[in-house]
């Protein structure tokens, strides 16, 4: 059976002369029993007629974000969810710039923003446009965001010039999609539990103690683990992030609630990643009524919350346990102490409170430590770091189960 059998592939076609080659991509994918739907930009239709793609896929071509009939057949969000992968071929310089800017002014660019599946682009343009710093910068940013880039190839161009910018051949695009979708993830068959975000400890019905955690790192880790083939459950404190497509998401508020939700699931998990910024102290007996400002000063009595990470690490048998250490000073030393005192398999240390990275930021720099090793991941987008971290966790887990393999 073809590895593409039963897979749903969304093919975006933008306005370049190479658009005629996309018909062959569709033919190859369909012959491998994939289900293909095509989305064309308005300018793509100047190069190839939608009927070509309709005949090859057996479905009407989508092109208009605000078309009532198209939305009724399958709305754009539904279309994004339907796909196992989104490939844009050809991807013009203009479309690449739009993707980098995150614009959503037509159906295809909207889908690129809404899709939570792997995205591939096959750039196609004149060689000067390709080597322009603006395009190269756009491409670099997209690569950092995890967009897969196919080509371009070099050779004679439609404009008569010679150089880089030709779209790679249909067969190479087909092969790339096949290898991406048939990739066996490093966490295939494993179950991963991730905690993320802050907790809120109520003082009275309107006030609480919390921290600046945005939850971004934990959410990216949950996504990366899922993309690596794991069944992922996420226990999340209050955050304002879109919900990823996972096996389970449990929303909690307090450290005590997070403790219960994590402990309930940890025993049946292979890996626990404690990325949440759990409050260490919570007010003893929150007031039932709003506290009035009658007194010139106010004392709050706090008590320690349960240490979720240490409790999971103490389970026997228990999951491979990965903790985080948010530190403002002595990063490595403090992280090492936490690794030992909480008996963790791995700890991820990050500096907080500085100018770069940390809480609320989209990027971070991490030092990862385990019993007899460590590695440094320099400042990079959290999405990229999450993938690296997941690969490292998979490697260390494998080693801890079978130490002679290293
Ligand atoms: N953690 C936890 N439960 C708590 C407190 C922290 O599970 N009640 C976890 C966090 O999810 C993180 C790790 O412990 O993975 C370290 O959190 P951090 O705040 O850096 O350290 P603490 O252990 O709280 O120690 P300190 O605040 O003294 O640095």
193 has which bridge partners? 233, 272
- Ligand 1 centroid to 306 CA: how many Å? 10
Q: Is residue 340 part of a domain?
A: yes
Regarding whether 284 and 172 lie in a shared domain, the answer is: no
Regarding whether 364 and 227 lie in a shared domain, the answer is: yes
326 has which bridge partners? 350
Structure tokens at 218: 């934990």
Regarding whether 384 and 265 lie in a shared domain, the answer is: yes
Regarding whether 121 and 228 lie in a shared domain, the answer is: no
Regarding whether 139 and 68 lie in a shared domain, the answer is: yes
Regarding whether 196 and 171 lie in a shared domain, the answer is: no
Please give the C-alpha separations between residue 26 and each of 39, 83, 115, 359, in angstroms, as whole numbers: 12, 15, 20, 44
As for how many domains the chain has, the answer is 2
Domain range for 335:
191-405
CA-nearest residue for atom 23, ligand 1, is 338
- If one counts every other C-beta atom within 10 angstroms of the C-beta of residue 245, the result is 13
Indicate whether residue 255 lines ligand 1 (CB < 6 A): yes
**pLDDT at position 72:** 75
Regarding whether 178 and 196 lie in a shared domain, the answer is: no
Q: Is 159 a catalytic residue?
A: yes
Longest dimension (CA), the chain: 82
**pLDDT at position 183:** 62
Catalytic one of 55, 159, 248, 379 = 159
**pLDDT at position 74:** 77
**What CATH number does the domain containing 50 carry?**
3.40.50.1950
Count of CA atoms in the C-beta half-sphere (13 A) of 401: 11
Indicate whether residue 305 lines ligand 1 (CB < 6 A): yes
pTM: 0.64
Indicate whether residue 262 lines ligand 1 (CB < 6 A): no
Q: Is residue 2 part of a domain?
A: no
Q: Which atom of ligand 1 is nearest to the CA of 325?
A: 20
- Ligand 1 centroid to 350 CA: how many Å? 12
Identify the residue whose tokens are 């670099």.
140
- Ligand 1 centroid to 329 CA: how many Å? 15
CA proximity to 322, closest of 309, 336, 337, 341: 309
Indicate whether residue 280 lines ligand 1 (CB < 6 A): yes
**pLDDT at position 358:** 65
350 has which bridge partners? 326
CA-nearest residue for atom 6, ligand 1, is 278
Pocket test for ligand 1, best of 278, 358, 359 (most atoms within 8 A of CB): 278
Indicate whether residue 346 lines ligand 1 (CB < 6 A): no
195 has which bridge partners? 235, 274
**What CATH number does the domain containing 247 carry?**
3.40.50.10300
Strands 85-91 and 119-123: parallel
Q: Is residue 77 part of a domain?
A: yes
Q: Which of 127, 155, 182 is the last residue of a domain?
A: 182
For residue 176, give the DSSP letter: H
- Ligand 1 centroid to 396 CA: how many Å? 22
Regarding whether 379 and 232 lie in a shared domain, the answer is: yes
Q: Is residue 1 part of a domain?
A: no
**pLDDT at position 363:** 85
**What letters, b where the CB count within 10 A reaches 16 and e where it falls short, cover 19-55?**
bebbbebbebbbebebbbbbbbbebbeebbebebbee
- If one counts every other C-beta atom within 10 angstroms of the C-beta of residue 256, the result is 16
Q: Is residue 3 part of a domain?
A: no
Pocket test for ligand 1, best of 209, 272, 309 (most atoms within 8 A of CB): 309
**What letters, b where the CB count within 10 A reaches 16 and e where it falls short, cover 79-112?**
bbeebbbbbbbbbbbbbbbbbbeeebebbbbbbb
Q: Which of 138, 154, 182 is the last residue of a domain?
A: 182
Indicate whether residue 309 lines ligand 1 (CB < 6 A): yes
Regarding whether 299 and 150 lie in a shared domain, the answer is: no
CA-nearest residue for atom 20, ligand 1, is 325
- Dist CA 126 CA 203 (whole Å): 62
Residue 134: which residues within 8 A CB-CB, separation 6 or more? 97
Regarding whether 169 and 257 lie in a shared domain, the answer is: no
Regarding whether 296 and 269 lie in a shared domain, the answer is: yes
Regarding whether 177 and 207 lie in a shared domain, the answer is: no
Q: Which of 163, 182, 201 is the last residue of a domain?
A: 182
Q: pLDDT per position in the chain (406 positions), as tens?
A: 777 989 999 999 999 999 999 999 999 999 999 999 999 999 999 999 999 999 999 999 999 888 887 777 778 889 999 999 999 999 999 999 999 999 999 999 999 999 988 899 999 999 999 999 999 999 988 876 778 888 899 888 888 888 889 999 999 999 889 877 876 688 988 999 999 999 999 999 999 999 999 999 999 999 999 889 898 999 999 999 988 878 889 999 999 999 999 999 999 999 999 999 999 999 999 999 999 999 999 999 999 999 999 999 999 999 999 999 988 889 999 999 999 999 999 999 998 876 656 667 788 889 999 998 999 998 888 988 999 999 999 999 988 887 655 5
């Amino acid at each position: 059976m073809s590895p593409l059998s039963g897979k749903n592939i969304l093919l975006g076609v933008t306005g370049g002369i190479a658009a005629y080659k996309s018909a062959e991509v569709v033919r190859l994918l369909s012959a491998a029993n994939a289900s293909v739907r095509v989305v064309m930009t308005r300018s793509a239709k100047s190069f190839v007629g939608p009927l070509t793609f309709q005949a090859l896929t057996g479905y009407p071509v989508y092109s208009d974000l605000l078309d009532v009939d198209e939305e009724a057949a399958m709305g754009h969000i539904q279309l994004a969810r339907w796909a196992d992968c989104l490939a844009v071929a050809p991807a013009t310089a203009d479309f690449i710039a739009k993707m980098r800017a995150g614009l959503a002014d037509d159906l295809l660019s909207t889908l690129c923003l809404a899709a939570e599946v792997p995205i591939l682009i096959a750039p196609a343009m004149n060689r000067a446009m390709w080597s322009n710093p603006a395009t190269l910068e756009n491409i670099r940013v997209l690569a950092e965001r995890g967009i897969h880039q196919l080509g371009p190839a070099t050779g004679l161009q439609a404009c008569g010039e010679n150089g880089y910018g030709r779209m790679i051949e249909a067969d190479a695009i087909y092969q790339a999609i096949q290898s991406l979708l048939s990739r066996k993830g490093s966490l295939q068959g494993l179950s991963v539990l991730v905690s993320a975000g802050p907790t809120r400890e109520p003082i009275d019905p309107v006030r609480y103690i919390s921290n600046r955690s945005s939850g971004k790192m934990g959410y990216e880790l949950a996504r990366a683990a899922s993309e690596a083939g794991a069944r992922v459950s996420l226990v999340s404190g209050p955050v304002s992030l879109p919900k990823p497509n996972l096996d389970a998401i449990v929303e909690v508020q307090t450290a005590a609630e997070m403790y219960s939700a994590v402990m309930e699931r940890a025993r049946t998990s292979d890996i626990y990643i404690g990325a949440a910024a759990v409050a260490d102290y919570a007010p003893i007996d929150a007031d039932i009524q709003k506290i009035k400002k009658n007194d010139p000063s106010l004392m709050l009595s706090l008590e320690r919350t349960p240490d979720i990470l240490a409790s999971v690490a103490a389970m026997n048998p228990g999951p491979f346990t990965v903790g985080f250490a948010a530190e403002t000073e002595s990063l490595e030393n403090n992280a090492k102490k936490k690794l030992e005192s909480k008996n963790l398999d791995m700890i991820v240390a990050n500096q907080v409170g500085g100018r770069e990275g940390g809480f609320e930021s989209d990027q971070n720099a991490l030092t990862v430590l385990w019993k007899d090793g460590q590695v440094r991941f320099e400042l990079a987008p959290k999405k990229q770091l999450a993938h690296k971290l997941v690969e490292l966790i998979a490697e260390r887990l494998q080693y801890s189960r079978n130490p002679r393999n290293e």
